[in-house]
Amino acid sequence: MSSNKTEAQKYLDMDLLRFTTAGSVDDGKSTLIGRLLYDSKSIFDDQMEAIEESSQKKGDEYTNLALLTDGLSAEREQGITIDVAYRYFSTPNRKFIIADTPGHVQYTRNMVTGASTANLAVILVDARTGVIEQTCRHSFIASLLQIEHIVLCVNKMDLVDYSEERFREIQEEFRSFSSKLDIPDIHYIPISALYGDNVVEKSDNMPWYGGSTLLYTLENVQVDSDYNHVDSRFPVQWVTRPQSEEYPDYRGYAGKVAGGVFKPGDEIIALPSGFTSTIDTVETFQKEEEEVFQPMSITMTLEDDIDISRGDMIAKPDNQPKVGQDIDLMVCWLNKEQLKPNGKYALKHTTKDARCIIKDVKYKVNINTLHRVEGDKEIGLNDIGRIQIRTTEPLFYDSYKRNRVTGSLILIDEYTNETVGAGMII
């Protein structure tokens, strides 16, 4: 029993990497994920049997590993990915959450959804076609969403006779484009997802490639430094008051640390009230901690009984977030109904709910050239542009570049309750 507990604890304590896949239609994203799961032995026997049976029914000459991720019947029928498919697997070194996102232009919003929480993006390129419009589009979105690590997988190398020359051409093509983007860490890997070359095992077909396999790269990429451990931010999600016999006067503030480090004894300030206090305890599930940091979920207790409620922000007095109602942001539009200038929307920012009006549409971005289109104020489905909003009450925020949690918000249609825009604060 104790050994089981130890194994379970080891798994819970294991480092987690969230990554997203992106690329054009038929670049092999779903096949690649299927190959990763299969070669890392993360598939159950009954799953494998079902995939083999489905492959036979479709008339495939091989076991179609893409069927592991294309879960919707419409996806299987068309052989494409429509929705964002999340898959989970682990190796002895790390846990992984994969967001498999669609390749079609009309599903760009799904790519934004899948990439919004990712530490790394795997962008696939077909070795025959090279860098195309969708490659640029997905790379720009990854850069916009501050994904620090990109792995460019040149797939289907088997269809270009495993040519080193072709791989180097695509590498240079992408380097030329990515130099305009803000992506600090880019890896280039030639692969064949269909046959498993350089996915989990090194390929004998490409002895000229001296780099790591995709799985080795995923297991070893360092993402701890991607979090902001400087600016202490704690949006309060819930005030816990058990009022039980055991805890008659307990008042804790629960939520997820959005930045920095908090320790017992630290002086804090609560926003918007401006009241200060000192941290008494910081606790995770059934355990007091000496310090907590992003992205831990915690409950904090204070030495003073001050007024704090959901949507408030706890920070350090000498390092506070910006406070404001007029906010500039880049927005990716997710709805068929266009953004309405002077339109009113609900918004969610960290744990705070508010309302806003669109004050100005500054420009739209041509995703393929990265140029600003100053005269075009119409922002529709899958468009990205810069806008200014005015909120009904002050938000406590940082720029998205500095903190992906406190720098992001979503816009919501008040009548349909649909999320219509994903915003990155400038």
Phi and psi of 137, rounded to 5°?
A: -60, -50
pLDDT digits (tens, 9 = 90+) for 144-155: 899 999 999 999
- Work out the average pLDDT over 403-412: 95
5-19, 232-246, 256-270, 356-370: which has the minimum mean pLDDT? 5-19
Predicted local distance difference test score (pLDDT) of residue 89? 86
Tell me how far apart the alpha carbons of residues 253 and 404 are, in angstroms, rounded to a whole number. Answer: 22
How far, rounded to the nearest angstrom, does the alpha carbon of residue 307 sit from its chain's CA centroid?
A: 33
Q: Check whether 3 has a pLDDT greater than 60.
A: no
Structure tokens belonging to residue 355: 């309302």
Predicted local distance difference test score (pLDDT) of residue 76? 37
Helix, strand or coil for residue 158? helix
Tell me how far apart the alpha carbons of residues 406 and 271 are, in angstroms, rounded to a whole number. Answer: 14
pLDDT digits (tens, 9 = 90+) for 16-26: 999 998 887 77
Q: Check whether 265 has a pLDDT greater than 70.
A: yes
Predicted local distance difference test score (pLDDT) of residue 69? 58
- Position 367 confidence tier, pLDDT thresholds 50, 70, 90: confident
- Work out the average pLDDT over 22-49: 76
- Report the candidate in 407, 404, 394, 409 with the shortest Cα–Cα distance to residue 274: 394
pLDDT digits (tens, 9 = 90+) for 283-293: 998 789 999 99
Q: Check whether 309 has a pLDDT greater than 80.
A: yes
Predicted local distance difference test score (pLDDT) of residue 376? 83
Predicted local distance difference test score (pLDDT) of residue 107? 58
Pairing of β 313-315 and β 276-284? unpaired
For the chain, the structural domain boundaries read 7-226, 233-315, 322-425
Site of tokens 């810069």: 386
Predicted local distance difference test score (pLDDT) of residue 45? 60
| Between 233 and 335, residue with greater pLDDT | 233
Q: Which CATH architecture has domain 7-226?
A: 3-Layer(aba) Sandwich (3.40)
| Between 3 and 76, residue with greater pLDDT | 3
pLDDT digits (tens, 9 = 90+) for 63-86: 666 666 554 333 334 333 345 678
Predicted local distance difference test score (pLDDT) of residue 44? 58
- Position 368 confidence tier, pLDDT thresholds 50, 70, 90: confident
Phi and psi of 167, rounded to 5°?
A: -60, -45
- Work out the average pLDDT over 255-279: 96
Tell the CATH topology of 322-425: Elongation Factor Tu (Ef-tu); domain 3 (2.40.30)
How many CB atoms neighbour CB 291 within 10 A? 11
48-62, 212-226, 319-333: which has the minimum mean pLDDT? 48-62
233-315 shares the fold of 7-226:
no
- Work out the average pLDDT over 377-389: 92
Q: Check whether 301 has a pLDDT greater than 60.
A: yes
- Position 103 confidence tier, pLDDT thresholds 50, 70, 90: low
CATH superfamily of the domain spanning 233-315: Translation factors (2.40.30.10)
Q: Check whether 5 has a pLDDT greater than 70.
A: no
Q: Is the pTM of this model over 0.85?
A: no
